[in-house]
Chain A
Amino acid sequence: MKRRSLIKAFTLTASIAAMGLTWTVQAAETIKVGILHSLSGTMAISETSLKDMALMTIDEINAKGGVNGKMLEAVVVDPASNWPLFAEKGRQLLTQDKVAVVFGCWTSVSRKSVLPVFEELNGLLFYPVQYEGEEMSPNVFYTGAAPNQQAIPAVEYLMSEEGGSAKRFFLLGTDYVYPRTTNKILRAFLQSKGVADKDIEEVYTPFGHSDYQTIVANIKKFSAGGKTAVISTVNGDSNVPFYKELANQGLKATEVPVVAFSVGEEELRGIDTKPLVGNLAAWNYFQSVENPVNAKFVADWKAYAKAKNLPGADKAVTNDPMEATYVGIHMWAQAVEKAKSTDVDKVREALAGQTFAAPSGYTLTMDKTNHHLHKPVMIGEIQSDGQFSVVWQTEGPIRAQPWSPYIPGNDKKPDHAVKSN
């Protein structure tokens, strides 16, 4: 009587335990590629489009005959914005699905969570988002910007005559590691340029903060003391209330420009940009960049969004992390062709010095040693149609400095990837 029920309970437990085991490998004619982006939870807002972009790029490569004569097969999983789940899914992709490479992660903490797994199993991860640096793993290729490829040029621009000769800086961020580190680097940089501490104000808000009344009032107060620029590392969701408050309290970009490091085309979709014209963002790519590669890239993406009936397809936009994903996948495919193998060690070797004509209009190079892309830096101004117009850009791609020279002790760090042990 009691036994049957308990046997059931047992089979249930056992089947859960066995779940991991039953995931068998399919036909060997394809190369499996893992995609590790959150499709639910708080990060879905940013990461969903990266998943779609990765799928589009894989389709594109397959349409040209795949890699080494084999088709790519995407394995999409949802780590659900849950950091331990990232590690678990990473391990699953590497050991159960036996993927050749993983494209994924957005937040630094998700990358930090999977990093030990990739180092332990010698996997390969392409990370497509700008981040705070301070990391260089042999198992990760970073296709987003390091601080010197985004933050520092932006501040240099603000200090230049053309950018408004800002004398005072209001560093506003969400309270977590990326803003804190970026601001630390910026503070050291500003001090090296002779900006006094009283002219730098650092303010942080909790995650998901939505009431910026006090902060905007403080920015106003601070800006009375001299030409001020706001450097915003406010995280995705909080940007809308922040910009709405800025606009409604009448703080104009001509008086106090805001330069943001986490606001791109995708984020602007959720904001009415008319009151924001003139505010800035620093990235390595904008959708509005004019060149044939980008024209094709944007057109392909729009067509893909329409064909796959993605939500909001009629307003589909491209942004910097999407471009970084696109570049990353292509570079990996090229490296596999060069190495004639998907073996991680061979691919890693082939990736060093790999080049790709990117939608940003430059031929990007994967650095020979530091696993970061050489990237151009562009400052874009928000336009009323939700796009950016580039007002300034570097002469050419610049090399990443993941170990920022503005953080003490980093001068002793090696300039090549070593396991974080």
Chain B
Amino acid sequence: MNQPLMLTAAQKAGPKVTIAVGVVILAVLLALPLLSLLPADSALHVSAYTLTLVGKILCYAIVALALDLVWGYAGMLSLGHGLFFALGGYAMGMYLMRQASGEGLPAFMTFLSWTELPWYWVGTEHFLWALCLVVLAPGLLALAFGFFAFRSRIKGVYFSIMTQALTFAGMLLFFRNETGFGGNNGFTNFRSILGFGITEPGTRAVLFLATVLLLVASLYIGWRLAQSKFGRVLTALRDAENRLMFCGYDPRGFKLFVWVLSAVLCGLAGALYVPQVGIINPSEMSPTNSIEAAVWVALGGRGTLIGPLLGAGVVNGMKSWFTVAFPEYWLFFLGALFIIVTLYLPKGIIGLLKKKGEQ
């Protein structure tokens, strides 16, 4: 059974180079929001468009990383991570809607002739409680689902399809107006966050920085996990769960921990995503979105920490570019890319880079 690539790469390249490159990328990402604060006519000015676009991709990158923790390391392919992402987004969206509506009810509720907030909205005007929700909503759902699923030893494709059913059910539920989350229109038209205008360049820059920091933190967690004994157990679990059990390990706890961690990371990413793109809607929970997240991971190279980030960046970057450059043909490029990568780059882009590096 092959070792996780990340470990191999880390052992070969040594921590120094990895850290050095990481610092460079980090520096660029940290510089972007600062450059966006420059006056618009400055040569180095980064437009709000670029900043939100990169910010969005970074959020996706966190999702890809979170998915990679469960898929690449623990071998459980989730086709429902969009649900956790959206739940985090909705939790943040609730706070933003309360900010926008001030004392009154959010606009879509007055519109439904509701006169008071449903119980699950209580306290969402407080940022801290919203943050708790961002963690708790996806975390508790993942805990409940994971507890039962791992107890029944649901594995492989069964697990994937069940997660897909879960996110599909979530999407249908949130589409309903009566559920109290704005139905198909979701939440839009945010005004401010913590009293700062959401369209202010400063707010944007801070949100961007927060995303970068979350990404770094996720990477750090992933790195520590991969290096620890815990990470090795996960890999063993992926490669031969039964043998692991015969060795006296109970895999359930390990699975559950990484599963919930992954869900919480997704929730956090969703929470940062919503104020940056300005909308959260049930279609984030559509199974297609979750499959796409799996595609990012596979494309970048699963079982590595950098791969998913690259995958998310490449796919979304291409999507943004193709949809303008070849509006009618871009799906061909995207489709072909997926096929070529699976056929010729089984270890993803990172595998290609690694091979080139070894030559």
Contacts and interface: CB of A to CB of B under 8 A. Distances in A.
A, B in one complex: yes
Contacts of B41: none
Interface string B149-178: 000000000000000000000001001110
A299 interface: no
Contact of B110 (A19, A96, A409): A409
Interface stretch (A1-9, A269-277, A313-321): A1-9
A192 interface: no
A196 interface: no
Contacts of A20: 47, 49-50, 53, 320
A408 B13 contact: no
A115 B187 CA distance: 12
B171 to A, nearest CB: 9
Interface in A1-31: 1-10, 12-17, 19-21, 23
24 contacts: A3-B17, A4-B356, A5-B354, A5-B357, A8-B356, A16-B317, A17-B32, A39-B328, A40-B331, A78-B328, A79-B323, A82-B283, A85-B323, A89-B323, A91-B52, A108-B185, A109-B188, A112-B186, A116-B189, A206-B172, A207-B172, A408-B113, A420-B189, A421-B191
Interface of B: 9, 12-13, 17-18, 21, 24-25, 28, 32, 46-50, 52-54, 56-57, 107-108, 110-113, 172, 175-177, 182-186, 188-191, 199, 277-279, 281, 283, 306, 310, 313-314, 317, 319-321, 323-324, 327-328, 330-331, 353-354, 356-358
Interface in A155-208: 175-177, 180-181, 184, 204, 206-207
A407 interface: yes
A88 B353 contact: no
A19 B317 contact: yes
A113 B278 contact: yes
Contacts of B48: 91, 95
Contacts of B184: 107-109, 175-177, 207
A362 interface: no
Given A13-B28, A21-B47, 6 more contacts: A5-B357, A6-B353, A78-B323, A82-B283, A108-B185, A176-B184
Contacts of B47: 20-21, 95-96
Contacts of A88: 49, 52-53, 56, 277, 320
Given A83-B283, A88-B277, A181 B111 contact: yes
Interface string A66-102: 0000000000111110111101110110011000000
Please report whether the interface of chain B is mostly helix, strand, loop or mixed according to DSSP: helix
A134 interface: yes
Interface of A: 1-10, 12-17, 19-21, 23, 39-40, 76-80, 82-85, 87-89, 91-92, 95-96, 107-109, 112-113, 115-117, 120, 134, 175-177, 180-181, 184, 204, 206-207, 407-409, 420-421
Nearest to A181: B111
A84 B59 CA distance: 13
B175 A39 contact: no
A78 B53 CA distance: 16
A113 B52 CA distance: 14
Nearest to A21: B50
Contacts, number: 171
A339 to B, nearest CB: 25
A206 B324 contact: no
Nearest to B356: A5
- B53, B189, B313, B354: which has the most chain A beta carbons within 10 Å? B189
B189 A6 contact: no
Contacts of A19: 317, 320-321
Contacts of A204: 176
A9 B353 contact: yes
A84 B306 contact: no
A21 B310 CA distance: 20
Nearest to B171: A207
A142 B24 CA distance: 48
A81 B49 CA distance: 19
Contacts of A184: 112-113
B54 A12 contact: no
Contacts of B354: 5
Contacts of B13: 1-2
The 5 closest A-B pairs by CB, nearest first: A16-B317, A176-B184, A78-B327, A5-B353, A20-B50
A92 B47 CA distance: 10
Contacts of B17: 2-3, 6
B203 to A, nearest CB: 12
Contacts of A91: 48-49, 52
B188 A112 contact: yes
Contacts of A96: 47, 49
A84 B277 contact: yes
A131 B56 CA distance: 29
A6 B21 contact: yes
Contact of A115 (B25, B108, B112, B188): B188
